[in-house]
Amino acid sequence: MHTAGTTNQPGGPKPPSRSTGVLSDIRWFFVNAPRIPTLIHFRSDADRQNYSARIMQRLGIEVDEYAILNIHKIGINAPVRYVFEELLRWNGDSTCWPNHLAQVERVDDRLENIHLFLCGWRKYPFGLRRSVLGVKFIPLFDLNATWIQRVPPPSDCDNSRYLLYECSGGYPIGIFSIYVRSSIADQSETETTQAFLIVGFNFYGKEHLSRARILNKTWEAIHDRVTANVMNRFKQLCEWKFAKIQEGGAL
């Protein structure tokens, strides 16, 4: 995989490679080891809860409503406003998302409601109807925005912006959020912007299944690898495009 970048000059950074199908999606998002680890690891549940609270209080949701909470983080050398504007372009043509495996469809071309279809399936294969073993997989995701913070509130000192969705569908999550803010020097953050991807896990609304360790570990292993690759590619795209703009070049 190409490393994060800013120009197309020989030896310089480059934009993310475009996936051409399901096999390349599997290669880039599942098999590929991301250059920068993004999953935040905590020494204890108390550390996780304290860290999460600093983000969750901005989003207005309760961590305890979900069995686990995965938080991924990556630094991006581009301004917060520009990074967020790039987020707002998320659609089925993104080079940062496995579109062939989870095809993105913005309902009425609006970011507030997004459907994701497994391999583009809008009907169940092999003549199956409505569900597979009682679980509905179409759409794979049904994301409904509860809030999109496009401009930081006057009291915000971190220049934060975010997308927050409630989720249903075949993929077992409860909330999905992408949050960006200015870096904080006291936390040894050196890039201009910090981007977070936050997921609350609730196994199809069945809390007793959420506590099953094997389900959690399997889900985390898949989710964390894909998320880390998505975030590495998003960093790569933002830094490349922003540098091109600074250079006055065409994208």
Looking at residues 119-145, what average pLDDT do you find?
71
Higher pLDDT, 70 or 93: 93
Over range 138-151, report the average pLDDT.
Answer: 88
Single-letter code of the amino acid located at 184:
I
Report the pLDDT averaged over residues 170-179: 80
pLDDT at 34: 93
d(CA 143, CA 175): 9
The superfamily in CATH containing domain 22-247 is: START domain (3.30.530.20)
Confidence of residue 69 (pLDDT cuts 50, 70, 90): low
Three-state secondary structure string covering the chain: CCCCCCCCCCCCCCCCCCCCCHHHHHHHHHHCCCCCCCECCCCCHHHHHHHHHHHHHHHCCCHHHCCEEEEEEEEECCCHHHHHHHHCCCCCCCCCCCCCCEEEEEHHHCCCEEEEEECCCCCCHHHCCCCECCECCCCCEEEEEEEEECCCCCCCCCCCEEEEEEEECCCCEEEEEEEEEECCHHHCCCCCEEEEEEEEECHHHCHHHHCCHHHHHHHHHHHHHHHHHHHHHHHHHHHHHHHHHHHCCCC
| Residue 143: count of CB within 10 angstroms of its CB | 25
Sign of the torsion formed by the C-alpha atoms of 15, 17, 22 and 25: negative
Domain ranges of the chain: 22-247
| Whether this model's pTM surpasses 0.85 | no
Quote the tokens at residue 51.
Answer: 């860290």
pLDDT of 222 over the 50 cut = yes
Give whole-number Cα distances, 189 to 192, 194, 229, in Å: 8, 8, 20
Count of C-beta atoms within a 10 Å radius of residue 19: 22
- Please give the pLDDT value at position 96: 94
**Percentage of residues of the chain with pLDDT beyond 90:** 38
Q: What is the pLDDT of residue 6?
A: 37
CA 49 remoteness from chain centre: 20
From CA 200, how far away is CA 208, in angstroms rounded?
15
**Is the dihedral angle over the CA atoms 238, 233, 162, 87 positive or is it negative?**
positive
113 vs 121: which has the higher pLDDT: 113
What mean pLDDT is predicted for residues 99-116? 91
CA dihedral (34, 39, 40, 44) positive or negative: negative
Q: Identify the residue whose tokens are 């075949």.
A: 170
Query: CB count, 10 Å around CB of 56?
Result: 21
